[in-house]
Amino acid sequence: MLDRDTEVRRVLDRYLVEIVETYDLCPWARSARTTGELAVAVLWQTPTLAEWVAAAQRLLAQPTTRVAMVLATPAELRAIRDDVTRLVPQAGVAHFHPDAPLDLATAARLVPFLRRSPDPMLQLVPFAVLDAVRPAASIVDRTYQAAMIQGGYVAKPDLADRIADTNHATVSAQRAAILATLDDITRDRLASYARAGISASQRP
């Protein structure tokens, strides 16, 4: 039987490589993954808030972590995100979900679709990383930084707008190919999870 955690990570890597990196939706996704600065934890069944926070803190405590991802099935992902944001004050927190719809009406309304990961998850980026990537002369408070990371962008406001517009143009032009890849990843996920003995109640 396949290892559960290995299969979850393999499917996540397909999303990161074939969607996020292939279409350049995040300018630093590839470097974080390939240099070992991406830390991932998988929580099974329906974890408590304390378990979400503990996993996040454990990943963020690793000295090489630039991006942390915690995968699990929550009762309400937005509420969990808000609670984790409050309890993990050293990082910006964004939520990703496989049911995010495609809405190309505006660049802002496209953001949830850009975070259509195979499994529900929270992404955390330490504020120290955000501080390092913004210009020294720029003054950006932590509230705005949190808003940027929830929107999927780590940049000063004008650059964030350009990235959003570029992503909107990319997805608009490549919509069919992106949807086809996401559908293939979903089929792969369902088949591999079945082979690994991951039931619906256990899935992250």
pLDDT computed for residue 46 by the predictor: 86
pLDDT value, residue 140: 47
pTM for the structure as a whole = 0.83
Cβ-contact 97, 115 below 8 angstroms: yes
3-state SS assignment for residue 67: strand
Q: Give CA torsion, residues 79, 108, 89, 45, to 10 deg.
A: 40
> Cα separation of 59 and 38, whole Å?
9
User: In whole angstroms, what is the distance from residue 201 CA to residue 137 CA?
Assistant: 49
Q: Report how far residue 164's alpha carbon sits from residue 39's, in angstroms, rounded to the nearest whole number.
A: 25
- A 10 A CB-CB count for 60 gives 18
The predicted-structure confidence for 73-96, as pLDDT tens digits, reads as follows: 877 899 999 999 999 999 999 999
> What pLDDT sits at residue 162?
81
> In this predicted structure, what is the pLDDT of residue 121?
96
Residue type at 197?
G
pLDDT at 65: 95
Domains in the chain: boundaries: 4-195
Q: What is the number of alpha carbons within 13 Å of residue 171 lying toward its C-beta?
A: 28
Give the separation between CA 153 and CA 163, rounded to whole angstroms. Answer: 8
The whole-number pLDDT of residue 142 equals 56
Length of the chain: 204
pLDDT < 50 stretches in the chain? 135-140, 153-156, 201
Spatial CB neighbours of 128, under 8 Å, sequence gap ≥ 6: 90
Cα–Cα distance between 36 and 33 in angstroms, integer? 6
pLDDT at residue 200 in the model? 59
**pLDDT confidence of residue 138:** 43
